[in-house]
Each structure stands twice: as C-alpha cells, then as structure tokens.
Structure 1
Amino acid sequence: MDPQHHDYTADPHLHASHPVEENKPSVWKKLGGGSLSISIIVHAILLAVGVVWIFQIIPATEQKVDFMPKGGGGGSPGVKEVSNKKQRATMTNPNTPRMAAKGVASTFTLPEPDAASSMSSVGSLSSGGLSGGLGGSGSGGGRGDGHGTGFGSGTGPGLGGGAGTMSPFGMVNPNANAMIGVFFDTKQDPKRKPTDMTPEKLRDVIKEFTNQGWNERSLENKYYKADQKLYQTRVYMPVMSANEAPKAFNCEKEVQPSRWLVIYRGDVVAPKSGKFRFVGAGDDVLAVRFNKKNIFDHGYTQGTTALYVPGKVDVLAGKKEDREVERIIRGGAMRVPVTLYKYDTTANWNNALGGVAVGPEFDVTAGSTYPIEILISEIPGGLFGAALMIQEEGATYQKASTGSPILPLFRTDGSLPDAKGKDNAPPFDSQGAVWKISPTSRRDI
C-alpha cells in the first residue's frame, strides 16, 4: 500500500495518539462564574437563616402595663398577676413610686393607690410585751406617718406611741422624745458563759452600780447585754410575767426570765420651775438617779442599799424603831420616815411594801436640762411590775378612794397607757406635764 495514501481512520493506534481539539471555554467561566454562583447560593442561605433567627428572638409588642401600687400592699384587684418576687421587693421599700409606660396604646387605666392597701404588720415580737409587733394595719402608711410614732402604720396595734398599744418596755423605733433602754442578763457573761449569779449577789451588784456612778460599761464587761435597744417614754408596767422583758428586748431565746435588769437614760427638760418628788414602786427594783444624784428607790429590794423591804415596812414608815435597818435605809436614796400611798389597784404593793413610796424633793428650773437614769430589775423571777409618777410640791390633786393623791406619770411624750383591770397599776392624772427629752443633749448608751 502506498504510504502516501495511508487510511488513518483504519489505524486505531494512530487515531488514539492524535490530539483531538477541545471546545473553547465561555466568557462566564473565564470570569469565575462557577465559584461566584456557589458563593451567592451559600450567602443567600446564611441570610435566610439569619432573618428567621432575628424574628424568633424579637417578641411581638404586648400592650401590657406591669406595676405595683404605692404602699407595697395588696393594691387594687387588677394587679394580682404581679409576681411574688416583685411583691417581696416592694415590701422592703413601701414607698416605691408608681410607674407608667409611655407610648403604649391601651385602654388599661392605672388605678389610684388605695390608703387601705398599705403594708400590714410585720408580726408580733411578743405575745404580751410588744402587744402586736412592729405596727398595725391602721390608716397611716409606711414608717410611722400615721397616728403612731413607731413602725406602726397607723391606729392599729404596734410599737408606736400613738393610739395603738406599745410595749411597756419601750419602742423599737428611735424616738426623739424617749429615753434609751438597754437590757442586761446577769446570769451569763458577754460570751454567754454562766456567772453563778444568785439573788443575793444581784442585790449587791445593783447596790454597787447605783452607788458608783451608774456606769454601764462596768456591766458590759461582766454580763450579757442584749443587742436590741428600746426607747421608753414612761415607766408604767402593771403586773406581768417576768419573761416579757427578754421578749421585748428580743432575747428570750438566750435569757431565762430572772436576775435581769434594764437601764433607761436620757436628758429631760423641766416643764416648769418648782420642787418635785418621784413616787412609785417596783417588783423587784425601781431606782432613779436625777441630776447625778440618787433620788428615788422603792420596791421589794432597794437598789441603792440592797435591803429586802418586806417585813421592814414599819421601820421604813417610821412606825417602828430598828437602828440597823434605819442606818441601811439612810445610806441610800430614801429618807426615814418614808411617805407611802395606797390605792385600790395596788393590793400586792400595799401588803408587801406599804404601797407606793414618795421620794425626797428636788428643785428644777423651767427650760433647764437634767440627766436622768432609771433602773428596773427582776431578781427571783415570776412576776414583774413597776410604776413611776411625779408629784409637785404645793400642787392640788384629786384623791383616790383611799385618800391618796392621783398623780401624773413621769413621761417624756403625750401618750398614755391603758391600766384598766390590771393589778399594781396605780391611777394617774392624764393632764400632767411632759418632761421632754433635750434634742441637743441626748446620749446614747
């Protein structure tokens, strides 16, 4: 076969080795169109996912107003859906302001707060001593801007000094016209270890304290002192359980109701010039120091002499001679013979103590300030009571059925106690003058 006329199509090997011309790439491919398409598709998918996610986390606007009415109480019926957490937060701040939402179209109207929805009582601190706890549910609101002066929210029972009932041992809330009271348990030391205190030893402790300057630090270094202070406007404590004092000072779990003592201190302004005498009695101890001088002391035990009075009343009143007892009495605040007043409502004191006693007279000038300290104490335990009144020399008073004068209470504000149907509660004149606490010389303990 002529090589010039070779049939290339008939030679498969020759055909396979010959290059075949490929199609030219399009302009789109030259510009990277394939990769761009993939990128666009991926970004579109991410964008769609992002849009869906955004609409899921943004909730639709609700036409709802969430609030708690002023006062922290129950509020109007339309606010029952408020959460418990918010209620608790509001109760800790009863003056929480009202809130409103701007720019919300709604037919819902914010109700005006009702005065009756103010915060209710925090609870009783004691069954008998604190008489209803830190405020009632009266017509006032918040911290004592109703009718009372304590935490009470008005005329309900609380620790205020207004129409409600206050603890006979004082108020929890500091008061500008109140003496400051502290509580000591002599049966244990500051670290709450037993002191082996006996009634006899306590009488000597009180005698030493009242004759050496009434220095509370000397007691703080030796005996348990309650953290709670009380603010007292008067000493008028009809017969009660001796446990009411630890309850009032919020330490009844740490203190057994015996061999305790309470000290009240303040600086008082004399309401008028003249001569005065303190009158009263204590079960077991009621002693008073006025203007840095022991000026009154009468009870089952004399605090300034440690004398146990029952059985010695005739000597005290000058009806019987006993030189040793007379010597002891003259070493304290009282002077023999001691004048004694009896009342129908002080039967126990009449029998055991001869009644309530009249202390030595003292002079004051109107507007002048005088320091005063009052000590009360329960020694063996059981029942406790005390009452302190004041008598002006030369003044005329109404008489009780026993012939004794009805005297005003020594008090530092205008509030008065309820004495109806209670024993060892002498009658008192409700019109007596108020010995206000000096605002510039008040001393804390």
Structure 2
Amino acid sequence: MSDTPPALPPEEPAAPPPLDETLVEGVEDDGLGQKRAKRTFWQKFGGEGFMASVAIHVLLILIAAFLIISVSKESAKKDPNSFTTGSGGGAAGDRAKQFKTRLQPKNPKTTAKTPTRITSKSTTATISLPDVPTVAVSSMNAGLMGGGSSKGFGGGSGGGIGSGMGVGRGNGKNFVSLFGAKMGAAGMVGTFYDLKQTSNKAPTECAPQSGIGAYREAVKEFFQSGWSPGKFQKYYRAPEALIAGQVFIPSRGADAAPKAYGVEKEVKPSRWVVHYKATVEVPQSLPFRFVGSGDDWMVVRWDRKIALDDGYEHMVVGADGNYKDFKQVVTKEFAIDRKPGHLNRLKAGPWINSPKGTKIPIEIAIGETPGGVFDVYLAIEVARSGSRVNGNFEGEGTLKLFRTNAEQLPEEIQKPGRGLNIDMEAEGWIFKTVPTGVTR
C-alpha cells in the first residue's frame, strides 16, 4: 500500500456575499450591461438650469428698474408757467415765492368801436338805427367779441384768450354759447334764419344794403301771421338749433350769432333773425312783467299775446308802449350801460297775472338789421303783492333774470355789471319748460 494519501476533490469557489439592497437602489442598467447612478426627478426636470435662468432674469429686472427710476428723476422739470424770485428772505421765508403767469384778456370796451347812430328828428318816428360800420366786423377781436363764453369742450379750438372767452367747438361734443347749447339741459329752442339768402343760398331782396326795408317787411309778415315759421321757410336756416336757458347777451359784434350757430362762413352778420320758443310753467302766482330790449330789436310773445317789444326798432307795439293785447300803456324804464351802444335803458312790458303751475307757450324773436354791434337783455320784474295800488300793480323795483332752467350760467354773465340791479339766480322764479303742446 502506498503511503500517499488519496487526492481530495477540487474545492468549488465560494459564492460572493449578497450585495446590500440599499447599495443597488441608486443604480440602473443603461442597456449596455453597464450600471450608472439613478437620476432624481428634479434632475430629470432640469432644475439646475431653471434656477440659473430665474436668477439671470431677476438680475435683469433689477437693472431695468434702476435705469427707469434714474431717467424719470432726471427728466422731471419745473412748472414752466411759474418763476421764482430766489430763495430766502421776503414774506415767504426760506422758500422762493412763485408767481403764476396768466395772460389777461383785454377789455372788450377798449376794442369795440362805438358806431354812430342815425336818429330821426321826427316826433312820430319809432326807430333809430346804427350806421353801417366802415370796417368789417371781423376786424374786431374774435375772442373778445365772439359768441359767448366757451367752456372748452373736447379738443376744439376756442376764440379768445385767457379763460376762454369766445366761441369754442369740441370734436362732436356739446357746444355752449350765450345763444344756447346744442344739447343737454331743457330750455327754449332757438332757430337761426338769414333773410339775405334763400334756402339754396341764392341772394334775396334783403341781401343788398338797400334791402333793409324788405327785411323789416318780412319780419313784420312773420309776426302778423301769428309767428308762423312757414313765413321764413324760403330763407336760409342754420342746420342745427340751440337750446337756451336765458336770453341775456351783452354787447358784441353782430357776427356772434352766425358763429354760435356754426354758419359764420355762410352768413354775413346782418339781417338775421333768431326765433326761440317753448312751453313753460309759471313758478309763482304773483303778477310779473317782462323787462328788456334788443339791438336792433326784440319781441316777446306770452300766451300768444305781445308782452314786450323794444329796441332801436319796434316791430309790433311801437315806441308809445301801447300793449293792446293786455289793454295797458307802459312807459316804465330801467337804466343800464349798453356801451358801445347808446340806448341806455330797458323797457318794461304790461303786467301779467298767470296762476302758479299754469303751462304757457312763450316765443322770443331777436334780430339784427344793418350789422355792427348787437346785444339783447330779457328779465322780469315781480310785483310786491297781488293787490293793485291806484289801479295798478307796484313792482319790486329790482329785476330777476328770465330763466327757463337752473343750469349754471355762463361765466361771462354771472356778474353782468353795467349798472344793472338784477338777480341773476332768480331763485323761486325759474320758468321750467314742459313738453311742447302742454298748455292750459
């Protein structure tokens, strides 16, 4: 027997220890048999790049804000309409005084030429007329002599200077003048007629300077017809009417009416007529009477009766003041400065006794005959009581503006001056308009 020990079977290699599961969760197969670390959701989303982009944008916004603030501070300028006297001292202490500069309008009285008047020496004459001016009315300052006070609507241009006196028209918005407004508040509806041309703009018998007589005849035919608009149908009429809350227009050029109605390019400032009409409600039961005058003329019709006729011309009643419709003869006058005209008075009409709440039709016609200077004033005087003294009512002695609405008055007439003692607000005595056709 051999001493050599028997050969042992070969040993199988020992199996490697199992891998820790916590170590293999973060790896994945890349498809090529290689293992790589598993990416998180934030990494898959591209979070690192997103945060970098946000940081860059925030930085850009901060830079832009800084630039905008810097430019704004540098571009801020001082008010160009003021100037300073220097800092320190004076009544203002350490701060500089600031004075607002404003262009002051000229006084219309200094620019309007006073026309001479032709006055008949006959004792039976009832009218006196101004001469035709030797210079065109357009040579007057358009803003100072324009058609009323402009309130500056829209982007329209206004004649005049300073606070905007004169005619001003907006881009399709409301237009307000002393002759009335295009829209808005209730009031009397005024229609403008030019008797020098037909509705087709052909000259009429009133067109030449010798046509003044024909103009007067046409106006009187209108009154004799019962104030029928049909009598003016053949003449030129402004395309748009104006709504007026009062008829109170201090002295200005006769071209103010065509300008107010927007027809100054079609109408020369002479031999025109404006016809206002409305139905109003009597505000109080006390007797009252109309007081006023027109250059060249004004006629008031109350309840289809002539209640006032005065001016350089008298179209219906005459200078004797015999109001046949009311069976009264009236001579009462009120003083007023009507420069550059010289008819320095307003005439009173007959007393009217209409109960409170009564609805009455009223019509007012005003006109300019030869051209030149124009004005018109209409007010009322109220009786002290409803009782007569020596067969007649006794007036208060002061006037109230005749008004048909309570809208704010144009600035130009809020303080009329001219030596006239008149209450422009007329509180309690506003004749409010009612729908047409509603009468007693």
In the superposition, the TM-score normalised over structure 2's length comes to 0.54
Q: Which amino acid aligns with 1:430?
A: M
Q: Secondary structure at the match of 1:274?
A: coil
Mark the CA change 1:275 to 1:211 in structure 2 (over 3 Å): closer, same or farther.
farther
CA–CA separation in structure 1 for the residues paired with 2:204 and 2:190? 23
Alignment partner of 1:339 is 2:332: yes
1:406, CA displacement in angstroms?
3.1
- Summarize the alignment of residues 36-435 of structure 1 with structure 2, pairs less than 5 Å apart: 127=143, 128-129=146-147, 131-132=149-150, 135=153, 166-175=176-185, 177-197=186-206, 198-220=211-233, 222-304=234-316, 316=320, 336-343=329-336, 345-346=337-338, 351-352=342-343, 355-394=345-384, 405-414=397-406, 415-417=408-410, 418-419=412-413, 426-432=420-426, 433-435=429-431
CA–CA separation in structure 2 for the residues paired with 1:237 and 1:372? 19
Q: Hey, what does 1:113 align to over in structure 2?
A: none
Mark the CA change 1:428 to 1:166 in structure 2 (over 3 Å): closer, same or farther.
farther
Mark the CA change 1:267 to 1:240 in structure 2 (over 3 Å): closer, same or farther.
same
C-alpha deviations, 1:160-201, integer Å up to 9, x for none?
9xxx994110001143x2110100000011111111212222
CA–CA separation in structure 2 for the residues paired with 1:277 and 1:422? 21
1:362, CA displacement in angstroms?
1.4
Cα contact 2:359–2:438 (8 A) shared by 1: no
Q: Hey, what does 2:46 align to over in structure 1?
A: none
C-alpha deviations, 1:362-406, integer Å up to 9, x for none?
12111111000000101000110001001112269xxxxxxx933
Percent sequence identity over matched residues? 34
Q: Which amino acid aligns with 1:405?
A: G
Gaps of 5+ in 1: 1-76, 78-125, 138-154, 310-315, 318-328, 397-403
Mark the CA change 1:424 to 1:216 in structure 2 (over 3 Å): closer, same or farther.
farther
Mark the CA change 1:159 to 1:431 in structure 2 (over 3 Å): closer, same or farther.
farther
Q: Which amino acid aligns with 1:438?
A: V
Cα contact 1:238–1:425 (8 A) shared by 2: no
Q: Secondary structure at the match of 1:205?
A: helix
Cα contact 2:381–2:398 (8 A) shared by 1: no
1:439, CA displacement in angstroms?
3.8
Mark the CA change 1:262 to 1:442 in structure 2 (over 3 Å): closer, same or farther.
farther
Q: Which amino acid aligns with 2:349?
A: G
Aligned length: 269
Mark the CA change 1:425 to 1:210 in structure 2 (over 3 Å): closer, same or farther.
farther
C-alpha deviations, 1:115-174, integer Å up to 9, x for none?
xxxxxxxxxxx842153366269xxxxxxxxxxxxxxxxx999789xxx99411000114
Q: Secondary structure at the match of 1:239?
A: strand
Q: Which amino acid aligns with 1:129?
A: G
Higher strand fraction (1 or 2): 2
Higher helix fraction (1 or 2): 1
CA–CA separation in structure 2 for the residues paired with 1:442 and 1:252? 35
Q: Hey, what does 1:147 align to over in structure 2?
A: none
Mark the CA change 1:159 to 1:428 in structure 2 (over 3 Å): closer, same or farther.
farther
Q: Which range moves more in the overlay, 433-442 or 192-201?
A: 433-442
Q: Secondary structure at the match of 1:217?
A: helix
1:263, CA displacement in angstroms?
0.4
Mark the CA change 1:374 to 1:334 in structure 2 (over 3 Å): closer, same or farther.
farther
Mark the CA change 1:405 to 1:331 in structure 2 (over 3 Å): closer, same or farther.
closer
Cα contact 2:147–2:179 (8 A) shared by 1: yes
Cα contact 2:330–2:348 (8 A) shared by 1: no
CA–CA separation in structure 1 for the residues paired with 2:325 and 2:214? 18
Q: Which range moves more in the overlay, 408-417 or 356-365?
A: 408-417
CA–CA separation in structure 2 for the residues paired with 1:272 and 1:287? 23
Q: Secondary structure at the match of 1:202?
A: helix
Q: Secondary structure at the match of 1:362?
A: coil
C-alpha deviations, 1:65-103, integer Å up to 9, x for none?
xxxxxxxxxxxx9xxxxxxxxxxxxxxxxxxxxxxxxxx
1:274, CA displacement in angstroms?
2.4
Q: Which amino acid aligns with 1:189?
A: T
Q: Which amino acid aligns with 2:188?
A: M
In the superposition, the TM-score normalised over structure 1's length comes to 0.54
Gaps of 5+ in 2: 1-67, 69-141, 156-162, 387-395
